[in-house]
């Protein structure tokens, strides 16, 4: 089955800085890569997703890049704000299953 | 639209007791998932339903876990008997179609003592 590795496990930045979270996946047939944000006491919420026919996607301060050859994808958050503080999960789906497999999460802390 | 509803929010039980969780998905979403999220880890799929049929339960510990989705809407997940290692947040999610975003509820935090 699919295996998703996510780094770093914790990321601490100052407000206004950029944050980058990186993930790798094992199944070359995976073709759908969503990112979820989980705030304390809540369920994960989708913030952006990308499909394998696209190399990059942006939505305001958030962008995701995908390198299919290297089997890695990254989340970029620019001009971070304290409300960006949360746990972020990457996931991969495709091949034999459309059900996403999640990474272990990155705890992002944005200091005011 | 109303989100995915789960209850209870918290549950504390002793090992070997039984517990049940309830989920009401977003209206119109045919696919329903139960995930287990252990502290510090990502969600791990337990079971997936399409309408009221099971699509994937390969990761469900069937000796103690069971789930059902009657009438293709609400779902319940049961653990009997519970073990200490079952302490986790149990998340329910629903989606409109294959490769559609998953919409998660806020989960049930289970503590087994």
Q: What is the pLDDT of residues A25-55, one digit of tens each?
A: 999 999 999 999 999 999 999 999 999 888 9
CA distance B86 to chain A (A): 18
Give the model confidence (pLDDT) of B16-56 as tens digits.
999 999 999 999 999 999 999 999 899 999 999 998 899 99
Say which residues have a Cβ less than 8 Å from residue B90's Cβ, sequence separation at least 6: B6, B21, B34, B35, B36, B37, B77, B107, B108, B110
Residue A74 φ then ψ, to 5°: -135, 150
| Bridge partners, residue B88, by sequence | B110
Residue B81 φ then ψ, to 5°: -85, 150
* Chain B partners within 8 Å of A5 (Cβ): none
DSSP state, residue B14: -
**Pairing assessment for the beta strands B44-50 and B31-37 based on DSSP bridges:** antiparallel
Mean residue pLDDT of chain B comes to 94
Model confidence at A22, in pLDDT bands (50, 70, 90)? very high
Interface residue of B21, B26, B33, B42 to substitute, partner A, most A CBs within 10 Å: B42
Closest to A87 (Cα-Cα) out of A22, A36, A28: A36
DSSP for A6-35, please give it. Answer: EE-SEEEEETT--EEEEEEES-TTEEEEEE
- H/E element, A37: strand A30-38
**Residue A84 pLDDT > 80:** yes
Residue A82 φ then ψ, to 5°: -55, -35
The C-alpha atoms of residue B112 and residue B69 are separated, in whole angstroms, by 25
Interface residue of A33, A43, A50, A98 to substitute, partner B, most B CBs within 10 Å: A43
CA distance A2 to chain B (A): 12
């Amino acid at each position: 089955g699919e295996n998703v590795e996510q780094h770093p496990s914790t990321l601490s930045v100052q407000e206004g800085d950029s944050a980058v979270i990186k993930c790798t996946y094992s199944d070359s047939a995976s073709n759908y890569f969503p990112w979820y944000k989980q705030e304390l006491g809540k369920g994960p919420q989708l913030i952006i997703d990308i499909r394998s026919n696209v190399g990059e996607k942006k939505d305001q301060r958030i962008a995701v890049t995908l390198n299919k050859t290297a089997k890695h994808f990254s989340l970029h958050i620019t001009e971070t704000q304290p409300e960006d503080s949360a746990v972020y999960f990457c996931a991969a789906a495709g091949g034999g299953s459309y059900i996403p497999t999640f990474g272990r999460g990155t705890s992002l802390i944005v200091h005011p | 639209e109303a989100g995915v509803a789960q209850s209870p929010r918290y549950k504390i039980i002793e090992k070997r007791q039984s517990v049940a969780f309830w989920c009401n998905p977003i209206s119109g979403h045919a696919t329903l998932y139960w995930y287990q999220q252990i502290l510090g880890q990502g969600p791990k799929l337990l079971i997936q339903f399409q309408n009221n049929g099971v699509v994937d339960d390969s990761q469900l510990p069937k000796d103690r876990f069971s789930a059902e989705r009657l009438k293709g809407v609400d779902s319940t997940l049961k653990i009997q008997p519970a073990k200490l290692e079952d302490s986790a947040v149990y998340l329910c999610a629903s989606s409109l179609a294959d490769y559609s975003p998953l919409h998660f509820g806020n989960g049930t935090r289970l503590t087994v003592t």
